[in-house]
């Protein structure tokens, strides 16, 4: 392709997610293959405001597919939330000759990209967050690895819970959404799963499930709570009070954001990075790269931000049936 675009920038913003580095690598390498120079911007929008950036060559991104975190660092910039901050960031883009920007992150990152596009900067967003809570796409980079990280810990917890005949309450991340908890719950074979999207009857959906599983001979229990469905300490107290079980709380926390990305995240990140650069090279702007079924497509950022993502109902129905039959 003969692109009029000669230089683009790439940044990561918001909470980091395994696979962000693979996306950065794909952006740099795809740009190089099209004769486009790529500038790495450190610490998200903060780096745009402070002009903290450096040219990234294909060699600079060697071996990045396997690395967790983000080599570009990440931040949530308060200054960028102000009109002056956005203007300064856009002015710096122009001053540095950055004609297009790939922004990798979640909803907040896309809001920032939208603000920049209103100042005439071409932007394409790549969805990356372990929460998988971005409505315009079936999948966000990092989700699969985070689910697996959580499962690895929960499998270990189960061993000790079984030995002591205890009840384990595990809080998983997910911000205000329950996608992570839903998948982790089904994969862990949980007794009960609490997600913010579903109002539950605590007696029926938690206490009774523990009781009936106990009657059927189960001696240990695994309860998964999405952080948005908390406070998790209340869940622990109520279970202890109503069942008399020995309950232990584990908050998995930021460990879920770390680790080497799994194949799914490496491949999806690479495909999204490639697609983002193609879009900029074609002169497109104000787009988010999305996965829809098996297809990679792009949507308008305004349209993407206005969409709402519900829980995967089919999976929830299965989870509910499996928990009821435990
Ligand atoms: O969005 C990713 C996420 O890890 C959420 O699951 C969590 O609520 C939040 O970020 C934690 O953010 P921080 O890095 O500010 O602790």
Tokens representing residue 13 in the block: 């913003």
pLDDT of residue 3 exceeding 90, the answer is: no
Residues 6 or more apart whose CB falls under 8 angstroms from that of 272 comprise 23, 26, 126, 127, 141, 289, 291, 296
pLDDT of residue 2 exceeding 90, the answer is: no
Does ligand 1 come within 6 angstroms of the Cβ of 122?
A: no
- What would the mean pLDDT of 196-221 be, rounded to a whole number? 96
Does ligand 1 come within 6 angstroms of the Cβ of 257?
A: yes
pTM value is: 0.96
pLDDT tens digits, one per residue of 243-282: 999 999 999 999 999 999 999 999 999 999 999 999 999 9
Does ligand 1 come within 6 angstroms of the Cβ of 25?
A: no
Specify the pLDDT at position 1. Answer: 55
pLDDT-based confidence at residue 325 (cuts at 50, 70, 90): confident
Residue 80 C-alpha to ligand 1 middle, in angstroms? 19
pLDDT tens digits, one per residue of 45-99: 999 999 999 999 999 999 999 999 999 999 999 999 999 999 999 999 999 999 9
Give me the DSSP letters along 81-144.
GSHHHHHHHHHHHHHTT--EEEEEESHHHHHHHHHHHTTT-EEEEEEB-TT---TT-S--BTHH
pLDDT-based confidence at residue 324 (cuts at 50, 70, 90): confident
Does ligand 1 come within 6 angstroms of the Cβ of 173?
A: yes
Residue 211 C-alpha to ligand 1 middle, in angstroms? 34
Can you tell me the distance from the alpha carbon of 323 to that of 231, in angstroms, rounded to the nearest whole number?
A: 22
Q: Which of 75, 134, 175 to mutate to test the pocket of ligand 1 (most atoms within 8 A of CB)?
A: 175
Quick check: is 60 catalytic? Answer: no
Residue 148 C-alpha to ligand 1 middle, in angstroms? 17
pLDDT-based confidence at residue 190 (cuts at 50, 70, 90): very high
pLDDT of residue 41 exceeding 80, the answer is: yes
């Amino acid at each position: 392709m003969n692109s009029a675009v000669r230089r683009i920038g790439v940044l990561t913003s918001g909470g980091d997610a395994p696979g962000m580095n693979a996306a950065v690598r794909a952006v740099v390498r795809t740009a190089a293959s099209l004769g486009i120079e790529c500038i790495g911007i450190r610490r998200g929008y903060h780096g745009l405001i402070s002009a903290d950036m450096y040219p990234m060559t294909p060699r600079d991104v060697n071996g990045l597919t396997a690395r967790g975190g983000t080599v570009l660092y990440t931040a949530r910039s308060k200054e960028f939330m102000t009109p002056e901050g956005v203007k300064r960031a856009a002015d710096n883009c122009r001053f540095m000759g950055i004609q297009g920007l790939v922004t990798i992150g979640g909803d907040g990152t896309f809001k920032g990209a939208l603000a920049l596009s209103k100042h005439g900067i071409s932007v394409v967003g790549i969805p990356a967050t372990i929460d998988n809570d971005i409505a315009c796409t079936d999948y966000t980079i990092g989700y699969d690895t985070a689910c697996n990280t959580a499962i690895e810990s929960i499998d270990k917890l189960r061993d000790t819970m079984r030995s002591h005949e205890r009840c384990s309450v595990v809080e998983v991340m997910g911000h205000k959404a329950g996608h992570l908890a839903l998948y982790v719950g089904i994969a862990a074979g949980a007794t009960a799963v609490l997600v913010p999207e579903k109002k539950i009857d605590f007696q029926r959906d938690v206490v009774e499930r523990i009781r009936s599983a106990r009657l059927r001979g189960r001696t240990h229990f695994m309860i998964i709570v999405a952080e948005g469905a908390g406070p998790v300490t209340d869940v622990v107290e109520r279970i202890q009070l109503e069942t008399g079980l020995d309950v232990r709380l584990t908050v998995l926390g930021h460990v879920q954001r770390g680790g080497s990305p799994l194949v799914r995240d490496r491949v999806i990140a690479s495909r999204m990075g490639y697609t983002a650069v193609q879009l900029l090279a074609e002169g497109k702007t104000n787009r988010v790269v999305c996965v829809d079924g098996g297809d990679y497509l792009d949507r308008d950022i305004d349209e993407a931000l206005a969409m709402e993502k519900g829980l995967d109902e089919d999976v929830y129905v299965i989870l509910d049936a499996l928990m009821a039959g435990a």
